[in-house]
Amino acid sequence: MPSTTPRTHIPWISVALAAATSALFIACAGAPKAPAPEPEAVPPPRMETPAQRETRELEAAVALLDKGEGQAAADKIAELAAANPDNSELLLLKAATLLSAGKLAEARAEVDALLAAKPDDPKALAMAADLARFAGDEKARRAFLDRGLATAPQDAGILTAWGELYLDQKAWTKAEDFYRRARSADPRNADAALGLGKALYKQAKYKDSLAAYDEAVALEPRSPFGYADRSRARYQLGLYAEAMADLDAAVERAPDSSWLFLDRGRMRLEVGRRAEAEADLTRSIFLDPEYFLPYVYRGGMYEEAGRDAEALADYERIIALNPDYWYAQESAGAAAFRLGRFDLAATRFKGAAGYAPERPEYMALAALSLLRAGKPLDAKTLAAKAAPKLDRDKNMIYWLVLRLIQEQNDQTSELETRIQSEKSLDLKTAALFYLGEYWISRGRPEFGAKYLLLAKELRREGSLEYRLVVAELARLAATGTNG
């Protein structure tokens, strides 16, 4: 399914389309009226003038763009530009809609041709800078903007593009300065107002940010972007109902935007509207199944609700889409362990260890998972490789756990002694968990349950091992085993 998100917003394009439409409408309005027909006569069909047709096509392009249908909008503009090859505004609009449709090379060709004819055109230079930005060429982007600032220092579009550059560089105060200059040059520039709101928001100036967003929405009420950004400022100011209303308005204006459903889903999750949040996150995934972030939030929501099978499916999808998001490796490993899928748990915990070798619990959990999967030799091998890499003084409990898994005997007294002296409740919970699981893997579930119950009594609910303890006790209870 196609998806349009705030991240694909092309500055000034909607405003320019609307302005072009308005200008053509005014031009058409000046035509003399036809004489009224005789009462008994049937009025002939009115013929559409070229200007009226162009107005209608531009309005259609605006509607398509607002719905996120960039390719269809590009086709409409291309037809108009072909019929008016000397109209630079239409050529720029064609380039912008091509970019919105993901056709970077074609958009660049249009802008290059225009700059060859008009090398100092500020709108063309701003568009060229935007194309360079999308291509990842920051040097070219800045060069185009330098040319624009030198030849048109008061052009609102160039000043807004500079603000965008500094916003990307996280130079918030510089971005604010250029956006304010753009607003002074053209108070009707909605993109400058929107950018100013962002720059102020990043500086935690939420009231000022809200005022700028209010202006952006007033200037461009059809666009979803102002509403979406304003919702964040309102949320920071505690205006939760108003923030949610803004996201509703944004979604209404761009119902095919995966990003907006994600934004609204996150906010609904934060305010406790979990069923609606799940619906929004699921819709976001439907619109763009290749973007990993909605799975992160939905998977976490499923996990908190105890829906481990669904959580695991989302975490596995995250790993497939974005392997570098290694937090999903831990989450998938924990969910798999709770579900008794110990082979998968071992794989995921080893994956997490590869990204975060400073976390000794990952290798301990991977080795333990192999032991629980009925693979003692694999567990022994992994433990033997992992233990020597640990700083024994800093990670004594994990070193003892790995040594126990390596030796696979009943000599647990050293670990038990360490548990008794351990002051960290999180580490004590972890050690009791490992000891309990070890005895279960040795065929002594009733003995293991005693250690797990001790771990549960510590109530370290924020620790990774605690939730594994709870799931294991539930599994033991289902088989009639208790402490």
CATH number, residue 65: 1.25.40.10
On whether both 198 and 334 belong to a single domain, the answer is no
Does residue 281 lie in a domain region? Answer: no
On whether both 441 and 341 belong to a single domain, the answer is yes
Q: Output the pTM of the full model.
A: 0.80
Query: Which of residues 191, 223, 240 is at a domain's end?
Result: 240
On whether both 347 and 456 belong to a single domain, the answer is yes
On whether both 76 and 107 belong to a single domain, the answer is yes
Distances, alpha carbon 336 to alpha carbons 19, 79, 364, 436, in Å: 56, 55, 15, 18
pLDDT at 33: 37
Does residue 289 lie in a domain region? Answer: no
On whether both 187 and 75 belong to a single domain, the answer is no
On whether both 95 and 201 belong to a single domain, the answer is no
pLDDT at 80: 76
Tokens read off for 241: 């109902």
Does residue 337 lie in a domain region? Answer: yes
Q: Could you say which residues of the chain have pLDDT below 70?
A: 1-48, 50-51, 53-54, 57, 65-68, 70, 86, 482-483
Q: What region, left, alpha or beta, does residue 170 occupy, with left being phi > 0 and alpha being psi -120 to 50 degrees?
A: left
On whether both 168 and 88 belong to a single domain, the answer is no
Long-range CB contacts (< 8 A, 24+ apart) of 215-223?
A: 216/190, 219/15, 219/188, 219/189, 219/190, 219/193, 220/14, 220/15, 220/190, 220/194, 222/14, 222/18, 222/62, 222/66, 222/253, 223/14, 223/66, 223/190, 223/253
Does residue 138 lie in a domain region? Answer: yes
Does residue 309 lie in a domain region? Answer: no
On whether both 229 and 359 belong to a single domain, the answer is no
Does residue 44 lie in a domain region? Answer: no
Exposure pattern of 412-427 as b/e (b: 16+ CB <10 Å)?
beebeebbeebeeeeb
Number of domains in the chain: 3
On whether both 461 and 333 belong to a single domain, the answer is yes
- Using a 10 angstrom Cβ sphere, with 0-12 exposed, 13-18 middle and 19 or more buried, the burial of residue 150 is exposed
Tokens read off for 126: 């701003």
On whether both 339 and 404 belong to a single domain, the answer is yes
Does residue 343 lie in a domain region? Answer: yes
Query: Which of residues 195, 220, 240 is at a domain's end?
Result: 240
Query: Which of residues 133, 148, 163 is at a domain's end?
Result: 148
- Using a 10 angstrom Cβ sphere, with 0-12 exposed, 13-18 middle and 19 or more buried, the burial of residue 410 is exposed
Distances, alpha carbon 443 to alpha carbons 226, 413, 447, 449, in Å: 61, 18, 9, 12
Distance CA 163, CA 189 (A): 13
Residue 410 has what DSSP assignment? S
On whether both 77 and 180 belong to a single domain, the answer is no
Does residue 357 lie in a domain region? Answer: yes
Residue 331 CA neighbour count, 13 Å, CB half: 28
Distance CA 323, CA 59 (A): 43
Domain that holds residue 102: 7-30+50-148
On whether both 144 and 161 belong to a single domain, the answer is no
